[in-house]
Amino acid sequence: MCIFGAVDAAEMRLSEIGRTVGSCWEEIPEHFPVSLDEWVVMPNHLHGIIIMADETPLATADALPVRPALGAIVGGFKSATTKRVNEEPRMERSPLWQRNFYEHVIRNEADLGRIRQYIVDNPVRWAEDPENPNVIAGGRRPLP
């Protein structure tokens, strides 16, 4: 289901739900000591780089610094997005997210550059994306 919008002429056109997803993504640094790098909302998923901030850890009750787990950040984002979408009476209530998420630790500048470019190019490659429901399984060709 492509409820976040559609790719048109290799450019992502967000639906109202897609704009809500983007807004919630941009708010992540307001809730966690992280910053955001390159990201894009696609018709039925999101790609993004979260930079974990080592310098500003959260403090626990016993004053030991802890960095929030990536799973907690992504889970909070998914929860907030779903809640916000479901609060809107004119928006359809349907599952927004799959259960898990894919993560990759970026270890160097070359890796960062490659992943940034992958995110930027994602709308251009939508016709071949395995997440595109119009792609034939295995053949990765769009249906006519």
pLDDT in tens, 61-112: 555 556 789 999 999 999 999 999 888 776 666 678 888 888 998 989 999 9
How long a stretch of residues is the chain?
144
pLDDT of res. 144: 35
pLDDT in tens, 12-64: 999 999 999 999 999 999 999 899 999 999 999 999 999 986 655 555 555 55
25 compared with 10, residue with greater pLDDT: 25
Give residues with Cβ within 8 angstroms of 9, minimum separation 6: none
User: What are the structural domain ranges in the chain?
Assistant: 5-128
Written in H, E and C, the secondary structure of the chain is CCCCEEEECCEEEECHHHHHHHHHHHCHHHHCCEEEEEEEECCCCEEEEEEECCCCCEECCCCCEECCCHHHHHHHHHHHHHHHHHHCCCCCCCCCCCCCCCCCCCCCHHHHHHHHHHHHHCCCCHHHCCCCCCECCCCCCECC
pLDDT of res. 87: 83
Topology adopted by domain 5-128: Alpha-Beta Plaits (3.30.70)
Give the position of tokens 């500048």.
109
Please state whether the predicted TM-score (pTM) of the whole model is above 0.85: no
CB atoms within 10 A of CB 81: 21
pLDDT of res. 141: 45
Rg (alpha carbons) of the chain, rounded to whole number:
17
CB atoms within 10 A of CB 85: 19
Residue 140 has pLDDT above 50, yes or no: no
In the predicted model, what is the mean pLDDT of residues 99-126?
Answer: 92
pLDDT of res. 15: 93
pLDDT of res. 115: 94
